[in-house]
Chains A and B, each alone.
Chain A
Amino acid sequence: MTDNGSIAAATWEQVELARHPDRPYALDYIHAIFGNFFELHGDRLFGDDHAIIGGPAALDHRTVMVIAQQKGRTTAERAMRNFGMANPEGYRKALRLIRQAERFQFPVIAFVDTSGAFPGAGAEERGIAWAIAENLVALAQARVPIVTMVLGEGGSGGALGIGVGDRLLMMEHSIYSVAMPEACASILWRDIARKVEAAQALKLTAADLKRMGLADEIVPEPSGGAHNDYGMAADAAGAALRRHLATLEAVAVDRLLEERYQRYRRIGATS
């Protein structure tokens, strides 16, 4: 195997770990890290999307607002969660929770785990692009600290729709990309079979994002991956969240917002 081939293979192994069927999902982390999580339902406009969940939860002395993409474990739950691919209602529920977090001054903790927003006719009819775009603005302007953590897959605008914040943490074997490798291969070459090549070219591993300066921290996973020890993975995630939250809470809100703006402003800035 060529060097290039072995790098591609190693990258693909990361993609498969990020999608491992036994990998802990958002609710596994939520129940392990927070106390008293109270799930809120519905976007107050159309319905309740089970691919995005959220609500207030206790983290030490404070209440935080948790927003998360949730995949299903069993066949029935996978269908119910739509494989973690949200419709507009999911993003609009998230928007409702962002606004509520601001009103009560709850920091926002967002767990990203999706291959992307749901590509469906109904999603288009109900303005999936509009829902995501509105969240980008709401998160950029929310006057509370926001910590984003990628648990497994961070796919495309569907991930970013709950993923704008003051810190980006990534679990060691998580990935984050402009498009999932299959979609990228389909767009560039109209050939999904070239997904491994696409994965390598996209530089989508946690280590890649850290090296490129986009991720602030990689949260270590137990040997072999988070699925081998949920408790250890959640402890590491919880510790990282607490540490970053404490730092952000010490920053005056106007400065926090300016720093958040500059965080994105300088990505690809030429001057």
Chain B
Amino acid sequence: MYRVLAGRSPRAGPGPPDRAVLSCPGCDRSLETERLRAAALWVCYRCGYHFRLRPLERMALLADAGSLLERDRDLVAPDPLGFIDSVPYASRIEEGRARCGSNEAVIWGDAAIGGEPLVFACLDFAFMGGSMGTATGEMITNAIEAATRRRVPLLIVTASGGARMQEGIFSLMQMAKTAAALGRLGAAGIPYVSLLTDPTMGGVTASFASLADVILAEPGAMIGFAGARVIQQATYETLPEGFQTAEFLWQHGMIDLVVPRPELPAVLRQLLDLYVKNEAAKDFELEPQANASAPTPAVRG
């Protein structure tokens, strides 16, 4: 039903463009943008291709209306290496900020699903490929620690090329930092659900994305550690059909379920019903924070 893309390299941009008609990356047919937007799902009504969502679109789809209280909006990546690729790292951050309307490749906050409070974090592929630098890692870790402290479940939606080159070894160490925090979350008996979306690769897969109690993925999402290009260069292997798709990972026992986007809200409610202890909800109180904000409309890249 959900077509798996062959080849898989060229993709639509990070967010659906604002044109009346757009071409589906899955089936190449013309789609009416209004029809995709109306359902708020951004799933091709011809082939089932799942367009990439921006964090606020994702949160609007999954979290209770008005429940999001965003945290850490002011966190900005440092430039510990003074890195210049073709432009200085600070300019890359500025580009991301201008494009995405946020300071980093993650948005997180307190939210609720079906009335059940939780901590919800969502990576933004439009911001430097969703890559994890120190501020990204810091926000994810803050989210994990907030869930641990408040004893509410954690939901993280991933979309990332992996660790961010521009912060070098500091980016790599965010893998250890987020994993250590998840170790404490797990020891405290707080459930963690991750939803892997297109694409989830490298150091993000090899740290917090794969450490969830329940791992879900969207149909056709590319998920893995090393990229297909790197593997082919290193081994000259012929990669199997559908290599590194969500369906491929499910077949190999790495994820629990591939969930089509329209079914996600129901699946998450079902999981929360099963994993959440009711007393945790009673104790829940929002921590006041100066920069907390009301949800704002999605910004499209």
Contact = CB atoms under 8 A, between A and B. Distances in A.
Contact of A265 (B85, B133, B180): B180
Given A120-B235, A125-B252, A129-B210, A160 B176 contact: yes
B174 A132 contact: no
23 contacts: A120-B235, A121-B239, A124-B226, A124-B244, A129-B205, A133-B175, A133-B205, A133-B208, A136-B175, A136-B179, A157-B163, A160-B172, A164-B176, A178-B168, A178-B171, A179-B163, A201-B81, A201-B168, A214-B173, A267-B177, A268-B170, A268-B173, A270-B135
A46 interface: no
Contact of B138 (A140, A214, A269): A269
B169 A156 contact: no
B230 to A, nearest CB: 5
Interface residues of A, number: 50
B230 A119 contact: yes
Q: 10 closest Cβ contacts across the A-B interface?
A: A268-B134, A136-B179, A119-B226, A140-B180, A129-B205, A129-B206, A129-B225, A178-B172, A132-B206, A137-B183
B191 interface: no
B211 interface: yes
Contacts of A117: 225-226
Chain B facing A: main interface SS: helix
Interface in B57-109: 75, 78, 80-81, 83-86
Nearest to B205: A129
Given A177-B169, A179-B165, A269-B138, 12 more contacts: A123-B225, A125-B252, A130-B210, A132-B206, A133-B210, A136-B175, A141-B187, A157-B175, A186-B230, A201-B168, A202-B169, A261-B184
Provide the main secondary structure of the chain A interface. Answer: helix
Contacts of A161: 206
B234 to A, nearest CB: 5
Interface string A163-206: 01000000000001111000110111100000000000111100
Q: Most chain-A Cβ atoms within 10 A of its Cβ — which of B83, B206, B210, B252?
A: B206
A268 B78 contact: yes
A26 interface: no
A28 interface: no
A176 to B, nearest CB: 6
Contacts of A52: none
Contacts of B78: 268
A177 B202 CA distance: 14
Contacts of A267: 134, 170, 173-174, 177
Given A119-B226, A120-B231, A186-B230, A270 B138 contact: yes
A270 B237 CA distance: 43
A264 interface: yes
B299 interface: no
A256 interface: no
B182 interface: yes
Nearest to B78: A268
B240 interface: yes
A251 B171 CA distance: 29
B243 interface: yes
Interface residues of B, number: 61
B230 A201 contact: no
B176 A268 contact: no
A77 interface: no
A209 B80 CA distance: 11
Contacts of B210: 127, 129-130, 133
A30 interface: no
A212 B206 contact: no
Interface string A122-152: 0111111110111011001100000000000
B226 A177 contact: no
B165 A137 contact: no
Contacts of B254: 127, 130
Contacts of A125: 248, 252
Given A201-B81, A268-B137, A137 B168 contact: no
B63 to A, nearest CB: 25
A178 B137 CA distance: 14
Interface string B211-249: 100000000000011100011001101011001100010
B225 A157 contact: yes
B203 interface: yes
